Structure 1
Amino acid sequence: MPLMTPQIAPGVTALAPGFRALSILVDGAPIVDAEVGSRALARACQSIASGEAPWAQDHLDAWDQVFKRFGAKPQRFPCSAQALRKRVQRDGALPCIDPVVDLYNAISIEYAIPVGGEDLTAYEGAPRLIVADGSELFDTMKEGEPAHESPEPGEVVWRDDKGVTCRRWNWRQGIRTRLSAESGQMWFILESLPPMPLSALQEAGDRLIEGLKQMMPEARIEHELIGCLTEA
């Protein structure tokens, strides 16, 4: 498994004091239980109706404020956790997409935390979270065809040496590094702000790792805390 520590630019830290994240690297293995993700997703969707942690809404509100600081209107560009939870509140459930994607979406919904999943084999260099200057390229689809666009100057994005991999921090993932159960090497990033207790971030990571091990018992998994690691 390659050693890799995501980099966070100082400009991002200034926008979101106290930002911290859990980075999880996975060497994939054959899947022995493909239903782990769908079961977790069903439980997560039910958890919204049955109640949530007292800090959950404050955490989502904090993401709204951070998005506003770099010029993204949360009503139009919500963080990924907010977008998933709104779909569940509207529709009552989420459709299954892929065993691994379903699993990390379940963690995102249940813990009110943005969770990204990436195919690490598609990366060129290490992931880094930066404030864009507007010249970077982001691969996407427009009218059913592959296309490129650029982030707004000042927008927070994840990128590698080739280009942007996720726009507006965690709002929209690119095509090139999109993850699936067939990905040989996987990278997950669980992103939190101070309203979410550090213990809850660690618990969310443990739940994701536990699900991955149930799904593919021979997978090798490493994790690392990055950012501001003191308790809020």
Structure 2
Amino acid sequence: MDFRHHDDLWHDFPALVPAVLLIDGVTPDADVSAAVAEHTAAARARLAAGSEAELPQIQAWRRAFAAQGLKPTQYRCASESLLRRLRREGELPRLHPLVDLCNAVSAAFAIPVAALDVTRIGGDLEVRYADGSEKYETFGGELEHPDPGEVVFADAANFAHARRWTNRQSGRSAIRPATTTALIVAEGLHETAASDVPLLLDTLAGALRAAWRAEPATAVLTRGAPVFRA
């Protein structure tokens, strides 16, 4: 499987910095509580200085959503939603150790992180503008079609594994107890993304090694080298 961003996105969002990680050997019984607590504390420290909406990482995504014709306060990137929930409820949701770890790191860095079950992806996966024919499966099992021009994670079988770019993942490839291999994608658009995203990648890779005793494959993609081969 190849993962990449379409050249149209590189053209329209030249500040984009994506990082990709592939890990095999995931199990639902790993203990990530210490790492989750550490990164959740870092996220709380960010929020102590002001609202998540004021963070440059979030502001960059709000501008990107606005450029796509979306209302940034109606459709929030994943990291903004996590920080907002943390500020309001005091905790992050607990779902699966891999998801919990990705959520905590995402909140700590204020950068969206997506985790997908590789076995549920049909062939190559590309982040691109939708044409409207793609099939998106909700967490309730219903099928939707993204709006034309919406950014999606589309596979070769024309399933969309995320809608509105970093807003909402699909239930089709959600991490579940049976997941053993996961593709993790982090994307930044803010001014210091070129240094922040690789640091997030190293941080997450280290936490995954500790939790599952597995060596993840990692890469930071660029317009000149846009493909991650799993």
> TM-score if structure 2 supplies the norm length?
0.87
Q: Unaligned 5+ residue runs, structure 2? A: 225-230
Q: 2:3 & 2:141 partners in 1: Cα distance?
A: 27
- Equivalent residue for 1:82, pick from 80, 83, 101: 80
**Residues 42, 64 of structure 1: CA spacing in aligned structure 2 closer, same or farther, 3 A cutoff?**
closer
- Equivalent residue for 1:48, pick from 46, 49, 58: 46
Look up the match of 2:144.
149
1:12 aligns to 2:33 (yes or no): no
Give the alignment of 1:55-70 within 5 angstroms.
Answer: 57-70=55-68
Contact 2:43 2:109 in 1 (8 A): no
Q: 2:206 & 2:154 partners in 1: Cα distance?
A: 28
1:165 aligns to 2:161 (yes or no): yes
Q: Unaligned 5+ residue runs, structure 1? A: none
Give the alignment of 1:99-178 within 5 angstroms.
Answer: 99-141=97-139, 145-162=140-157, 163-178=159-174
Could you tell me how far 1:47 is from its partner in structure 2? 2.7
Could you tell me how far 1:119 is from its partner in structure 2? 0.5
Contact 2:40 2:105 in 1 (8 A): no
Look up the match of 2:228.
none
Contact 1:33 1:214 in 2 (8 A): no
Contact 1:11 1:130 in 2 (8 A): yes
* Superimposed CA distance per residue, residues 110-138 of structure 1 (whole angstroms, 9 cap, x where no aligned partner): 10101000001111112100101111110
3-state DSSP of counterpart to 2:59 = helix
One-letter amino acid matched to 1:146:
G
1:27 aligns to 2:24 (yes or no): yes
Could you tell me how far 1:50 is from its partner in structure 2? 4.6
- Equivalent residue for 1:192, pick from 188, 194, 217: 188
**Residues 50, 112 of structure 1: CA spacing in aligned structure 2 closer, same or farther, 3 A cutoff?**
same
Could you tell me how far 1:228 is from its partner in structure 2? 4.6
Deviates more, 1:148-157 or 1:173-182: 173-182
Contact 1:100 1:181 in 2 (8 A): no
Q: CA RMSD in A?
A: 2.1
Look up the match of 1:225.
220
- How many pairs align? 219
> TM-score if structure 1 supplies the norm length?
0.86
